[in-house]
Chain A
Amino acid sequence: MNNLLEFFSFTNPTVRTVVLGTVLIAVCSSIVGTYTYLRKRSLVGDVVAHAIFPGICLGFVLSGSKNPIFLMLGAIAAGWIALVLMDAIVAKTKLKTDTAQAFILTFFFGLGTVFLAYIQKSGSAAQTGLHDFLLGKAANITQFDLAVFGVISLLLILLVLTYYKVFKLISFNEDYAASLGYNVKFYRFLLTTMTVVAVAVGIQAVGVVLMSALLITPAATARLWTHKLQHLMLIAGIFGALSGIFGAYVSYAAVNMPTGPWFVVFLTFFALLSIFIAPKNGILSKLKQKRINANKINRENVLKTFYNLMEHGAEQINTQLILEKRSFVPRVLEATLHKLKHQGLVQRKGNIYSLTEEGMVEAKRVVRLHRLWELYLTKRMNYKEDHIHGLAESMEHIITPEIEKDLLKELDYPTQDPHQSKIPY
Chain B
Amino acid sequence: MLTAVLIGTSCSLLGSFLILRKSVMIGDAISHSVLPGIVLAFIFTEERAALPILIGAAVFGVLTTMFIQFLQRKSNVQEGAAIGISFTFFFALGVIMIALSTGGNVDIDQDCVLFGEIASTYLDKIFVNGYFVGTRSILTIAPVLLIVILFVVFGMKGLRLTSFNEDYAKALGINVNAWNYALLMLVSITAVLSFEAVGAVLVVGFLTIPPASAYLITNNLSKMLWLSVVFTLLSAVGGTLLALTLDVTISGMIVSVAGILFLLTWSGKIIMTKSKKIEKLSEV
Contact = CB atoms under 8 A, between A and B. Distances in A.
Interface of A: 37, 40-43, 45-46, 50, 89, 92-96, 98-99, 101-103, 105-107, 109-114, 116-118, 121, 131, 134-135, 207-210, 212-213, 215-217, 219-220, 223-224, 255-258, 260-265, 268, 271, 275, 281-283
Contact of A103 (B27, B208, B243): B208
Contacts of B32: 209
B28 to A, nearest CB: 6
Given A107-B259, A114-B248, A118-B246, A220 B114 contact: no
Nearest to A88: B266
A43 B75 contact: no
B110 to A, nearest CB: 6
B51 to A, nearest CB: 26
Contacts of B253: 110, 114
Interface string B63-99: 0000000010011111011111101110111011001
Contacts of A265: 89, 92-93, 96
Contact of A268 (B28, B80, B85, B246): B85
A264 B88 contact: yes
A361 B247 CA distance: 89
A80 B230 CA distance: 31
Given A96-B22, A102-B24, A40 B115 contact: no
B209 A105 contact: no
Contact of A261 (B74, B92, B247): B92
Contacts of A207: 110
Given A106-B209, A109-B201, A209-B32, A220 B77 contact: yes
Given A102-B24, A256-B99, A217 B84 contact: yes
18 contacts: A43-B83, A45-B84, A96-B19, A96-B22, A98-B23, A102-B24, A102-B25, A102-B208, A110-B256, A117-B252, A209-B200, A210-B88, A220-B78, A257-B96, A261-B99, A262-B96, A275-B74, A282-B75
B252 A114 contact: yes
Interface of B: 19, 22-25, 27-28, 32, 71, 74-78, 80-85, 87-89, 91-93, 95-96, 99-100, 103-104, 110-111, 114-115, 199-202, 204-205, 207-209, 212, 215-216, 243, 246-249, 251-256, 258-259, 262, 266, 270
Contacts of A268: 85, 88-89, 92
A45 to B, nearest CB: 7
| Majority DSSP secondary structure for residues of B touching A | helix
Given A101-B24, A111-B256, A257-B99, A106 B202 contact: yes
B212 A95 contact: yes
A260 B92 contact: yes
Nearest to A214: B88
B26 to A, nearest CB: 8
B183 to A, nearest CB: 15
Contacts of B27: 102
B249 A106 contact: no
A281 B75 contact: yes
A224 B243 CA distance: 48
Nearest to B91: A209
B252 A113 contact: yes
A117 B84 contact: no
A213 B93 contact: no
A85 B174 CA distance: 38
Contacts of A109: 201-202, 205, 252, 255
Contacts of B83: 42-43
Contacts of B22: 96, 98-99
B205 A43 contact: no
B96 A107 contact: no
A257 B208 CA distance: 34
